[in-house]
Amino acid sequence: MNHSADIPAPHNGPACPLAIIGIGCLFPKAADKTAYWANIKQRVDAISEVPETHWRLADYYDADPKAPDKTYGRRGGFLDAIDFNPLEFSIQPNILEAIDSSQLLGLVAAREALRDAGYDPASDFARERVSVLLGVTGALEMVIPLGARLGHPQWRRALLDSGVPAAVADEVIERIAASYVPWQENSFPGLLGNVVAGRISKQFDLGGSNSVVDAACGSSLSAVHMAAMELACHRADMVITGGIDTFNDIFMYSCFSKTPALSPSNRVCPFDASSDGTLIGEGLGLVVLKRLADAERDGDAIYAVIRGVGSASDGKGGAIYEPSAKGQVRTLRDAHAQAGVTPRSIGLIEAHGTGTRVGDATEIRALREVFGDSDGRPWCALGSVKSQIGHTKAAAGAAGLIKAALALRWRVLPPTLNVQEPQAVIGEGNSPFYVNTELRPWLHSGPTPRRAGVSAFGFGGSNFHCVLEEYGQNPPACDWAGAPQILAFSAADDNALRQQLSACRAQLANSDAGALRRFAARSRAAYAADAAARLLCVVEQADQLTSQLDAAERLIAAPAEVAGTPTGVWYSRGTRPAPQLAVLFPGQGAQYPFMLRDLACHAPELLDQLQLADATLGETEAEPLSARLYPHSRYSTADQAAAAQRLQATAVAQPAIGCVSLGAWHYLQRFGLQAQGFAGHSYGELTALCAAGSYSAAELYRLSQLRGQLMAGTAGDDRGTMLAVTAPLEQIDALLREEALDLVLANRNTPNQGVLSGRRSEIERAAKLCQQRGLRATPLEVAAAFHSPLVAEASVPFRAALDETVLLPPTLPVYANSTATLYPAGPTAEGDEVRDLLAQQIARPVEFVRQIQRMADDGFNLFVEIGPGARLTGMVGKILADRPVQAIALDSSAGKRLGLVDVARLLAQLCALGVPLQLQPWDAEFAATAVATAEPAPPRLTVRLCGANYHREQTPRPPSDRQLVDARNLPQVQVAPAPVASATPASLPLAATPAAQPAPQHDNLLLLQRMQEDTARLHEQFLAGQASALQALQALLGLQAPAATPPATSPATSPAIPATVAQPAISAAPCCAPAAPVPAAPVATVPSPAAASAPPSPPAAPVSTAVAAGALEQALLAVVADKTGYPVDMLELDMRLDADLGIDSIKRVEILSALQEQLPQLPAVAPDELG
C-alpha cells in the first residue's frame, strides 16, 4: 500500500505564513465577493450563451470544429455589466474606448479588495510599501481591434482588385474602420497588460512594486508566488495580488477552438466520465496579503493563511500545451514542503480541473501519486469552480484561491457541478479523493487545522500549487450571503405605514442588491416591536421587491388584524400581549438527507453541535454521524436513495434529528427567541428536555444513540412495524375492537390520523382491512413497533443508562407524550421522576392530540416547530383548528427552499405576531456598517461596463444605395496635371488721403499731450486686465504660477512738445482682411501721400479687454467637457485636473488651445507654465 500521504516531503522549513485579509472580485453573475460565494454555495451555473456585447453567434459559430475562422463554442462565463464611475478613478469618459476593460475593472476589484481588508482608499494608511503583483496574460483584448484597424491597406487592395471604384472603396474602408476603436494617445497604455497593475498603483497612490506576470492559465498563482517572495523578503508590507482576465472575444474562442480544448457539448464537467472539454470565462480575483504576524499585530480580519506556494516546470515532454503529471507532482511536493504539512492533513483540493479529459486525468494521477492511498474511506474533497464560471484563464487560480479561502473561513466544503459519474481514476483502489457535489459543513477532527490546496497550471508547463490553512483565532460568526433580506416597518397607524412603503419604493426604484441590503438593515434597526402597525416582508432578490410591496399594500387594506401571504409578507395591527410561545421538536420520521444543511453551513451554533455529536458518538459503521447526515456525494438517483436508507437506521436517525434540532434552537436564540414551554413528538421529547436544561447536549447524543439501538433490537429479531392510517381516531379504535387486531394505536397524531404498531402479520392484516373499509393506510419504514409492548424490554437498559446520566428537572415546562401532562419540575421535583417518565415513554403510546390540547388549555397560543420538516406544524393546525392559535415551522419547505429563506420567514412572522425578537443580528456585520453610515450619493456619471471593451453608442450609418460599377470596365482617362498658381498676393491700392494741413496752434499740442497720457493709463489698465485673466486661467487650468513680475507703471510725463509734429497717414482700407492669392502681376508704383494733419479729437472711451471671470469659467467648463467627455454639470472649479479628472499636460495644452480659440483676447501662456 502506498502511504506517501503520511510522508512529509523534505523542505526548507515552513515558508513565511501569509494572511489573506481582503478579497475583491468580479466573476460571471457575481459583481462582488458576497455574490460569488453565494453562487458557489447555491450551485449557481453562471455559464451562458455568448452575448452580443462580445460577438455574434451568427457571424462566427459553426458546430464543425474544423470550419475555418469559426468556433464551435457558443457558451461561456461572462461578467454582468456594472455601473462604472470614471470620475472616481480620474479617467476621462472620452478615453474609455481606448482602455481595455481589464484595466478599468481591475480598479474596481482593487478598490473592493482594499476596502474589504480595512484599508479604504479614501482613508489614511501607509501606502509606500504596498505592492501590486498580478497575473495577466500577455496582450489584452484591446490589441485585437487596434491591430485589425491597421489592415486597411489589405482592405483597399482587395476592394480595388474586385473592381470597386476608389471613392466607394474609401467609403467601405471608412465603414469598416468605424467598427473598431480608433487609435489615440491613450491606446498604447490602454492595451498593455502591465498597466493593469500600473493603474491600480497610480490610482491608489501605492508606492511598492507593480508588475504583472504571465504564466498563461497559471498566472494568478504565479503572481501569488511572487507576492509571497516579496513579503518574505520584507520588500513590501502588503501586496494586492491575484489574476485578471476579461479576454473572451472571438479571438480567444478561436484559440481554444483550434487547440482544440472547448467542449463540443458546451458544458464544463470537471472530473466527470463524460467530460469533453472546457468553456472559457471572464474574471477578476484579487486578494490582499500580509505577513501573518503583521496582520495579527494590526488587528486585521483574516480569511485564511497561505502556508506555502509551490512551483515547478514540466521539463521535456510532449506538446507545449500537453500537461505533465511529472511536473505537477514536483509542484505539489514543493508546496507541501514549504508549508511543512503532509497530504493527509489536507481536506479540500480546489483543482485546476478544466474539464478536458486528458487534463483532468493527468491531474488526478499526479494527486494520487502525492497523496497515496486512503485507509478505506476517502478523506479529501475534490472540486473545480470552473464547473460554475468556466475557465477564467489568467484569473483561474485566483477564482480557486478565493473559493478555498472562503471555504476555510466559513468551514464548509463547496460543491462542484455537472458530475454524474466521476472518472474511474478518481475512485480506483483506496482513493483518498471524492468529487464533492453538494455543499456540506466541513466537520473536522484531529490536531491539525483545516487545510486546502489550490492548483493552477498553464500552457508551457507552468505549474503552481498553494497550501492554505484556516485561521484558528477567528471568532464564531454567521456566514451572511446578502440575501434574503428582512424588511421591517412599524408605525403608529396604517397611513404612516403606507408612507414608509412609498418611501421604500422611491428610494429603491431601479436599485441593486446592495442598496436593498442597506435599506433593509436600516429598517430593522428602526423597527419597534410595540408599534401599533407592523409589517415585515422577506425579499430573496432585488427584483422581487415590487411584488412584495404590492402584497404588503393589499394586506394593509384588508380588514384582518393579522394576515400574511405565501410569498413571505406579514402584517398585524393593534397592540396585544406577547403570545405564549411553545417550542416543538420532531421525532423519528422527520429525518431526510442534508436536513438543515444550509443552516449547518451558515450558523456556528449548528456546526458546533455537529462537531460535538461526532466527538461524542465516534464512528458508526466506519463513519461519523455527520457523514450520514451530509454524505460525500450523491451522483445519481440510486445514490440519493442509498443516502436516505443509511439515515433511516434508528440509532442514526434519532441522534441526527436531535443534533440539528438543538443546534437550530441555539441559533434562533441569537435573535432573542424565548420559549415559555417545550414539547416533542416521540423521540423529540429527549430534545425538549435537553433544551429545558435537564441534561447536556453530549448526554442527549449518547442517550439518543442508545435509545435507537435498544428500540431497533438485534439483527434478525421481528420487532414488528407500524402503519399510518388516515381516519378519525374513533374509527381506528373501532377497527381494532371489531377485528380483534393485536395492535396498539401508538400515535394519536391528529383527530383524523393515527399510527398502528405491532407484529408484521397483524400490520399486514390491518392494511387489508383498511383497504376494504376505504381507509388510506401507509406502511412506515421503521425498525420496530415503537410505542408498543414489543419494545418494552428496551425501557429497562435505557432506564439504567439514565441512572448514569446527570439529569435535572427541567427549568421550563416540558409536556410528556405519554401522559399529556407536565414533567416534574421545580425545586421539589426529583430527577428520578423524570427518568421514570422518560424511560416508560419508549413503550407507551404518544398522546399528541391530548398533549397539544392541554398546552392550548394552559394558554399556549403560538407553536414553533424547530427541527427537520414541518409535520408537527400541520398536526397542531388540525388539532387546534377551532382555536385562535398559530403554528409555524423553521424548516417550512423541508429543504426545498434555501434554508435562510425559511429562517427569515419564521423570524418575520414571529415579529408580526408580536414576539419580542431582536432583528439586529440578521446580517449583523454588514448591518452595523450600513446603519452607521449615510446612503452614498449616486454618482453623477456612470457607464455600463462588462468584460467586453467599452464602446460608445453611435448612430448607425444607413446602408448606401449606390449602384456599383466594376471599375475595371471603365475607360481609362489620362488627366493632365493642373498648372500651379502663384500664391503671391496682389498689392492693395492705398486710399487717397487729403493733403496734410499744418497745425501750428499751441493749444492743439497740449491737447495731444493729454491724449498720450490717457492712452498710457488705458494701456496700464489693459496690462492689469491681462494679468488678471492670466491668473484666472492658471487657477482654472491648474497651471504653474509664473515668476513674479513688477507691476506695470505709467510712463513719466512727456516733456514739452516741439512746435511742429508730423501726423501719420491713416489708411481708409481695413488692414486685417487677408488678400486672396492671385497669379503674380506687375505692381504699379503708388506715390506716398504727404503727411496729413487731422484736427484734434477728444480721448476715446476706455474699452474693456479683460475677459469677465464668469464668462471665462463658463467657457473653460465647456471646453473641458468637450475634450474629456465629462458632463458640464459634473465639473467643479475646485477639482484637480490630474488627480480628480485625469488630465495630463498633453490634454492641458489641448484644452488651453481650444479655450484661446474661443477667447482670443486671453493672454498667451508660456510653455513652461503648463506643468
Confidence of residue 1054 (pLDDT cuts 50, 70, 90): very low
- pLDDT, position 636: 80
| C-alpha cell belonging to residue 1076 | 486672396
Would the pLDDT of 1135 be above 50? yes
Confidence of residue 8 (pLDDT cuts 50, 70, 90): very low
Task: Find the mean pLDDT for residues 474-497.
Answer: 95
400 in any annotated domain: yes
**Is pLDDT larger for residue 1107 or for residue 83?**
83
Closest CA to 36 of 360, 401, 393: 401
Would the pLDDT of 1089 be above 70? no
- pLDDT, position 1117: 81
Closest CA to 20 of 643, 423, 466: 466
- pLDDT, position 356: 95
Amino acid (1-letter code) at residue 13? G
Long-range contacts of the stretch 1051-1055 (C-beta < 8 A, 24+): 1051/1016, 1053/1013, 1054/1009, 1054/1012, 1054/1013
Q: Which of 352, 465, 632, 681 is catalytic?
A: 352
- The residues near 656 (Cβ < 8 Å, ≥ 6 apart) are 591, 595, 625, 628, 629, 647
432-441, 466-475, 778-787: range with lowest mean pLDDT: 778-787
460 in any annotated domain: yes
- pLDDT, position 1069: 39
What is the four-CA torsion angle of 859, 861, 867, 871, rounded to 10 degrees? 110
The alpha-helical segments, DSSP class H, found in 713-846 are: 729-738, 760-772, 795-803, 831-840
Chain segment 807-847, per-residue pLDDT in tens: 999 999 999 999 999 999 877 778 889 999 999 999 999 99
- pLDDT, position 1114: 78
**Is pLDDT larger for residue 1038 or for residue 1079?**
1038
CB 949 within 8 A of CB 101: yes
CB 604 within 8 A of CB 409: no
Shared domain check, 434 and 315: yes
Alpha carbon of 117 to those of 24, 110, 135, 476, 930: distances in Å? Answer: 9, 11, 20, 19, 17
Closest CA to 346 of 379, 309, 377: 379
Average pLDDT of the chain? 87
557-566, 757-766, 945-954: range with lowest mean pLDDT: 945-954
- The residues near 556 (Cβ < 8 Å, ≥ 6 apart) are 494, 497, 498, 501, 533, 535, 571
Closest CA to 749 of 793, 787, 795, 719: 787
Alpha carbon of 975 to those of 161, 548, 901, 907, 972: distances in Å? Answer: 22, 78, 82, 90, 10
Can you tell me the distance from the alpha carbon of 294 to that of 18, in angstroms, rounded to the nearest whole number? 9
**Is pLDDT larger for residue 742 or for residue 987?**
742
Chain segment 933-966, per-residue pLDDT in tens: 888 888 888 999 999 999 887 656 667 666 666 6
- pLDDT, position 157: 93
Identify the top-confidence range among 699-703, 807-811, 1109-1113: 699-703
Would the pLDDT of 1109 be above 80? no
Confidence of residue 1057 (pLDDT cuts 50, 70, 90): very low
Can you tell me the distance from the alpha carbon of 768 to that of 788, in angstroms, rounded to the nearest whole number? 21
Would the pLDDT of 1167 be above 90? no
Shared domain check, 796 and 727: no
174 in any annotated domain: yes
Domain containing 770 — which CATH number?
3.30.70.250
- pLDDT, position 994: 42
- The residues near 12 (Cβ < 8 Å, ≥ 6 apart) are 337, 338
Confidence of residue 1081 (pLDDT cuts 50, 70, 90): very low
Shared domain check, 536 and 435: no
Mark which of 470, 496, 522 sits at the end of a domain. Answer: 470
1067 in any annotated domain: no
Mark which of 437, 470, 503 sits at the end of a domain. Answer: 470
Q: Which of 391, 632, 666, 787 is catalytic?
A: 391
Identify the top-confidence range among 314-323, 470-479, 1160-1169: 470-479
**Is pLDDT larger for residue 1039 or for residue 479?**
479
Task: Find the mean pLDDT for residues 131-141.
Answer: 92
**Is pLDDT larger for residue 964 or for residue 402?**
402
Would the pLDDT of 1132 be above 90? no
CB 349 within 8 A of CB 450: no
CB atoms within 10 A of CB 1020: 15
Would the pLDDT of 96 be above 60? yes
Shared domain check, 595 and 527: no
Task: Find the mean pLDDT for residues 237-261.
Answer: 95
Q: What percent of the chain has pLDDT over 90?
A: 68
Can you tell me the distance from the alpha carbon of 920 to that of 915, in angstroms, rounded to the nearest whole number? 15
Chain segment 287-332, per-residue pLDDT in tens: 999 999 999 999 999 999 999 999 999 888 777 778 889 999 999 9
Shared domain check, 1114 and 1166: yes
Can you tell me the distance from the alpha carbon of 1110 to that of 1116, in angstroms, rounded to the nearest whole number? 10
**Is pLDDT larger for residue 386 or for residue 930?**
386
Shared domain check, 534 and 393: no
Shared domain check, 672 and 708: yes
Long-range contacts of the stretch 114-119 (C-beta < 8 A, 24+): 114/22, 114/24, 114/204, 114/240, 114/288, 115/22, 115/24, 116/22, 116/23, 116/24, 116/33, 116/288, 117/21, 117/22, 117/288, 117/300, 117/301, 118/21, 118/22, 118/300, 118/301, 119/22, 119/238, 119/288
Report the SS3 class of residue 490.
strand
- pLDDT, position 1149: 76
**Is pLDDT larger for residue 879 or for residue 514?**
879
Would the pLDDT of 1039 be above 90? no
690 tagged catalytic: no
Shared domain check, 649 and 564: no
- pLDDT, position 1127: 75
**Is pLDDT larger for residue 668 or for residue 1033?**
668
Shared domain check, 817 and 697: yes
1079 in any annotated domain: no
Task: Find the mean pLDDT for residues 590-597.
Answer: 96
State the DSSP string of 921-975: TTTHHHHHHHHHSPPPPPPS--EEE-SSPP----PPPPPP-PPP--GGGSPP---
Confidence of residue 1003 (pLDDT cuts 50, 70, 90): low
CB 703 within 8 A of CB 682: no
| C-alpha cell belonging to residue 1118 | 465647456
Alpha carbon of 580 to those of 370, 577, 862, 863, 1093: distances in Å? Answer: 60, 9, 6, 9, 115
Cα 1004–Cα 1005–Cα 1007 angle in degrees, nearest 5: 65
1090 in any annotated domain: no
CB atoms within 10 A of CB 804: 9
171-175, 198-202, 701-705, 1054-1058: range with lowest mean pLDDT: 1054-1058
Confidence of residue 1029 (pLDDT cuts 50, 70, 90): low
Would the pLDDT of 135 be above 50? yes
Chain segment 355-375, per-residue pLDDT in tens: 999 999 999 999 999 999 888
- pLDDT, position 1131: 78
Structural domain harbouring 745: 720-782
- The residues near 64 (Cβ < 8 Å, ≥ 6 apart) are 70, 72
Can you tell me the distance from the alpha carbon of 763 to that of 777, in angstroms, rounded to the nearest whole number? 10
Identify the top-confidence range among 144-148, 479-483, 1053-1057: 479-483
- pLDDT, position 1044: 45
CB 665 within 8 A of CB 697: no
Would the pLDDT of 31 be above 70? yes
**Is pLDDT larger for residue 677 or for residue 425?**
677
Shared domain check, 487 and 419: no
CB atoms within 10 A of CB 190: 25
CB 234 within 8 A of CB 131: no
Domain containing 236 — which CATH number?
3.40.47.10
Cα 517–Cα 519–Cα 523 angle in degrees, nearest 5: 115
CB 1148 within 8 A of CB 1037: yes
- Look-up: residue for cell 388516515? 726
Domain containing 812 — which CATH number?
3.40.366.10
Q: Which of 217, 466, 601, 770 is catalytic?
A: 217
| C-alpha cell belonging to residue 1103 | 474699452
Would the pLDDT of 390 be above 70? yes
- The residues near 666 (Cβ < 8 Å, ≥ 6 apart) are 605, 606, 609
- pLDDT, position 872: 98
- pLDDT, position 1015: 58
Q: What are phi and psi of 289, to 5 degrees?
A: -115, 145
3-state secondary structure 190-229: HCCCHHHHHHHHHHCCCCCCEEEECECECHHHHHHHHHHH
| C-alpha cell belonging to residue 980 | 500651379
Would the pLDDT of 699 be above 60? yes
Number of domains making up the chain: 6
Can you tell me the distance from the alpha carbon of 302 to that of 468, in angstroms, rounded to the nearest whole number? 12
CB 679 within 8 A of CB 815: yes
Shared domain check, 434 and 464: yes
3-state secondary structure 986-1004: CCCCCCCCCCCCCCCCHHH
Task: Find the mean pLDDT for residues 567-587.
Answer: 94
Shared domain check, 175 and 187: no
1066 in any annotated domain: no
Can you tell me the distance from the alpha carbon of 1012 to that of 1100, in angstroms, rounded to the nearest whole number? 11
- pLDDT, position 1014: 61
- pLDDT, position 47: 98
DSSP state of 1058: P
- pLDDT, position 718: 76
936 in any annotated domain: no
Chain segment 416-442, per-residue pLDDT in tens: 999 999 998 898 778 999 999 999 999
CB atoms within 10 A of CB 563: 17
Would the pLDDT of 219 be above 90? yes
Is the bond into 751 cis (omega within 30 degrees of 0)?
no
352 tagged catalytic: yes
- pLDDT, position 322: 81
Task: Find the mean pLDDT for residues 251-266.
Answer: 94
**Is pLDDT larger for residue 1057 or for residue 460?**
460
Regarding pTM above 0.95, the answer is no
Mark which of 922, 939, 969 sits at the end of a domain. Answer: 922
Can you tell me the distance from the alpha carbon of 658 to that of 868, in angstroms, rounded to the nearest whole number? 10
Would the pLDDT of 3 be above 70? no
Identify the top-confidence range among 746-755, 988-997, 1068-1077: 746-755
217 tagged catalytic: yes
